[in-house]
Structure 1
Amino acid sequence: MKKLIFSCMLVWSGWSSAQEFTSFEGTNGKWGFQDFYGNVVIEAIFDRAGDFSQGRAAVMVNDAIGFIDTTGKFIIPCKYSWSSGFSGGFAIVKLNSKYGYVDLKGNEITPIHFDYVFPFRNGYSIVNQGGTYTEKGFLGGKYGVIDTNGILVVNPRYDFIDSYQLLMFQGKMQPLAQVTRATRVLVGNDNFLSLLNCQVGYLDSNGKEVIPIKYGELAFSEGGLIWGMKEGKWGLLNQSGKATTPFKYDYLPASRTELYGADTVLLIHVEVDSKFGFINREGREVITPIYEDYLSFSEGLIAMKRNGKWGFLNQEGKIVIPIMYDQVKSFEGGYAVVQLAGEEFQIDSDGKRQN
């Protein structure tokens, strides 16, 4: 169940600019506006007034809200039951229990028919139809996206859409990074995560499904990598949403440094049945996930453990130092400390004993 919390009160903003006027309550119980020095510039004739933002101020007359300019002239007549302040050239308004937008000239850029709308961000706004405001928040309905021309670019058919790095998960709104355990979230300004029938996808600003809505989770991790989950298993996707690996991995790179690289090589840690391996950006398994443990790459080599013994592999996944040691440390300055049959000594990058 989706739950978004909104205020039902008219937003009376604070100071927005030293050059604009602020509201005050007169001795007659009405509201007007004064300048920075306290001089009355618009007489106290309104039942309620908010401060100016972008040259417009919300005022209330006979329980209806409209907007005036800095001369006191009505730009938007008092007919709305609720309004936000202006931001980015638009204000959200409410009329007959429905929401929409007006611009600075008072034009309604869409019919006032949505059950809720969000503020514009990067030229787009998320809208809802069919939802209901309750004491516990805003629930239900379907979500879509409009642009600043009022054009519906994504039809309201999704259970949730978000461009603010939040996602509905297990009945709660949570940050995407918390949901997916990704170390970094990369959500483009003009892109939207969506949820439909408990499946997650990714839309572009034209409403096209870049990543089909068929995944249990999506993660956008370091280096621009995209991970999708199907039936409890993770796979890697390219920027077009095409799977580049089978959906077989148990682990999504997260809390540790999972991207290893030297020069142009980039390898990503994966797990299958508690065994470790590495894939490259294209999804090819460079090191098959058959190892019990590993140390970080150092000087082009990585220590991997199998059947209780350690050895070293290169970034192409080739075993260059046999898997035979009881304990090892990563290479440093061309040498690694290893332990074999209770004896500790150094080896070079060719595996030759040095002492």
Structure 2
Amino acid sequence: MKNLKLIFVLLTVSFFTYGQNKYDKVSSYGQYQEKWALVEIGGLLGFIDREGNEIIKPQYEKILAFGQYQEKWALVEIGGLLGFIDREGKEIIKPRYEKILAFGQYQEKWALVEIGRLLGFIDREGKEIIKPRYEKILAFGQYQKKWALIETGGLLGFIDREGKEIIKPRYEKISAFGQYQENWAVVEIGGLLGFVDQEGNEIIRPQYEKIIKDKGLVGVLKGNREEIKN
């Protein structure tokens, strides 16, 4: 009976040792998670547990520590593309982004992502809130508390904090709100000026070469002056 137990122990140890020996490198347990060890084959990284089971097959070129972006996630990279795995070994976001910024830089639960120089957002659940399609996204609140300026193809618009496009990118220039009237911002298309309000409505379509503030607002087109009414 004792011999059988000894054989069983030796077989178990041999199997476990063989499992570890198939890797080029095996890191210490607990560096990433208490019961996981980082393993490497041919420059690709994955994880095994304390029983030698392969939790994550070696497939990533880089794996950052859990918690650097999200408490339960670790950033992974393959072929220059980034994604996330969770503490169960599940791929929450497949590696597809060229850049992922820290959560909270634009809003608390969002992270800016980039593909082919186009920008969008993901949330803390791994959902793509805004598909990467903008060339620039400014910080929320620079123009309007709940809006962020966006740019694509040289045209400007706004998104809100829900990810909705409040004003589609169509203007070449957008001035700050309140320069001419408290809730209005000057917009420009093809050298002609108009106004949008803080609800995203185009109050005055771009039609003036100049707008003058003089006891009210005056629009100028081909030398003709016209009062702009609220």
Tell me the TM-score normalised to structure 2 length: 0.62
How far did residue 300 of structure 1 move? 4.7
Residues 126, 161 of structure 1: 8 Å contact kept: no
Does the residue aligned with 2:141 lie in a helix, a strand or coil? strand
Residues 235 and 222 (structure 1 numbering): CA distance in 2 closer, same or farther, change over 3 Å? closer
Unaligned runs of 5+ in 1: 1-109, 132-140, 166-185, 330-334
Residues 66, 72 of structure 2: 8 Å contact kept: no
Greater per-residue helix proportion:
2
| Correspondence 1:127 to 2:10 | no
How far did residue 287 of structure 1 move? 0.8
State which of 106, 128, 131 in structure 2 corresponds to 1:222. 106
State which of 34, 55, 59 in structure 2 corresponds to 1:157. 59
1:192 is aligned to 74
State which of 142, 156, 164 in structure 2 corresponds to 1:276. 156
State which of 158, 165, 170 in structure 2 corresponds to 1:285. 165
- Number of matched pairs: 198
How far did residue 129 of structure 1 move? 0.6
In the alignment, the residues of structure 2 paired with residue 295 and residue 124 of structure 1 have an alpha-carbon distance, to the nearest angstrom, of 56
Does the residue aligned with 1:229 lie in a helix, a strand or coil? strand
RMSD value, Cα: 4.4
| Correspondence 1:259 to 2:170 | no
| Correspondence 1:142 to 2:39 | no
- 1:3-53 per-residue CA deviation (whole Å, 9 max, x = no partner) reads xxxxxxxxxxxxxxxxxxxxxxxxxxxxxxxxxxxxxxxxxxxxxxxxxxx
Does the residue aligned with 1:222 lie in a helix, a strand or coil? coil
Unaligned runs of 5+ in 2: 1-18
Residues 164 and 322 (structure 1 numbering): CA distance in 2 closer, same or farther, change over 3 Å? same
Residues 328 and 162 (structure 1 numbering): CA distance in 2 closer, same or farther, change over 3 Å? farther
Q: Give the partner amino acid of 2:140.
A: L
- 1:62-101 per-residue CA deviation (whole Å, 9 max, x = no partner) reads xxxxxxxxxxxxxxxxxxxxxxxxxxxxxxxxxxxxxxxx
Residues 328 and 152 (structure 1 numbering): CA distance in 2 closer, same or farther, change over 3 Å? farther
Q: Give the partner amino acid of 1:226.
A: A
How far did residue 241 of structure 1 move? 3.1
Residues 208 and 351 (structure 1 numbering): CA distance in 2 closer, same or farther, change over 3 Å? farther
Residues 262, 300 of structure 1: 8 Å contact kept: no
Bigger Cα Rg: 1
Percent identity of equivalent pairs: 22
How far did residue 336 of structure 1 move? 9.4
